[in-house]
């Protein structure tokens, strides 16, 4: 069965979303598809669109769990599922995936990452991409999180994030 990897991150309206974060997201999508995985995301712009673009370049499959109507969907999605659940759709994204990767992000990304960790889902944060990803990967927060039973893996690159994702999935099988 194909591995399902969620990519969560800033949408296109994030004024702090960097070109670097978008390049990382595109590479993450590419590496997921290259290894035969399926990308699931929120289906919108920004990090989600960049990851879907990467999937498309590698000939893979992307699924968007949309908060509302299909007009929210980015043009690189293969499957757009409308939920009409607003941000509650974050739970579906997290629970339908084998692993969650966080890139940059604002409140919605923090919600997805915290949901993921709360249900014990392997969660990977890509350091250096901005937003909550940088906060969650900071040394001071990592020291604090050592006392938590579940905490995120920290990746320094797109490739490392996807390598960690597939490794933890294989260990669970």
Q: In the chain, what are the domains?
A: 4-167 (3.40.50.450)
pTM of the model: 0.95
- Cβ–Cβ contacts within 10 Å for residue 87, how many? 12
3-state class percentages of the chain: helix first, strand second, coil last, to nearest 5: 45, 20, 35
What does each of the 173 residues of the chain score in pLDDT, given as a tens digit?
Answer: 999 999 999 999 999 999 999 999 999 999 999 999 999 999 999 999 999 999 999 999 999 999 999 999 999 999 999 999 999 999 999 999 999 999 999 999 999 999 999 999 999 999 999 998 988 888 777 777 777 778 899 999 999 999 999 999 999 87
């Amino acid at each position: 069965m194909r591995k399902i990897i969620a990519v969560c991150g800033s949408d296109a309206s994030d004024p702090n979303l960097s070109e670097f974060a978008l390049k990382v997201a595109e590479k993450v999508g590419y590496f997921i598809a290259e290894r035969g995985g399926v990308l699931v995301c929120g289906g919108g712009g920004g990090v989600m669109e960049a990851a879907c673009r990467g999937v498309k370049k590698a000939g893979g499959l992307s699924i968007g769990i949309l908060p509302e109507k299909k007009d929210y969907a980015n043009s690189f999605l293969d499957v757009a599922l409308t939920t009409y659940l607003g941000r509650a759709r974050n739970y579906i994204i997290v629970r339908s995936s084998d692993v969650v990767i966080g890139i940059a992000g604002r409140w919605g990304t923090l919600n997805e990452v915290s949901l993921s960790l709360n249900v014990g889902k392997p969660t990977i944060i890509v350091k250096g991409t901005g937003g909550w990803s940088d906060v969650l990967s900071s040394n001071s927060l990592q020291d604090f999180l050592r006392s938590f039973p579940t905490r995120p893996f920290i990746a320094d690159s797109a490739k490392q994030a996807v390598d960690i994702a597939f490794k933890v999935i294989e260990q669970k099988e």
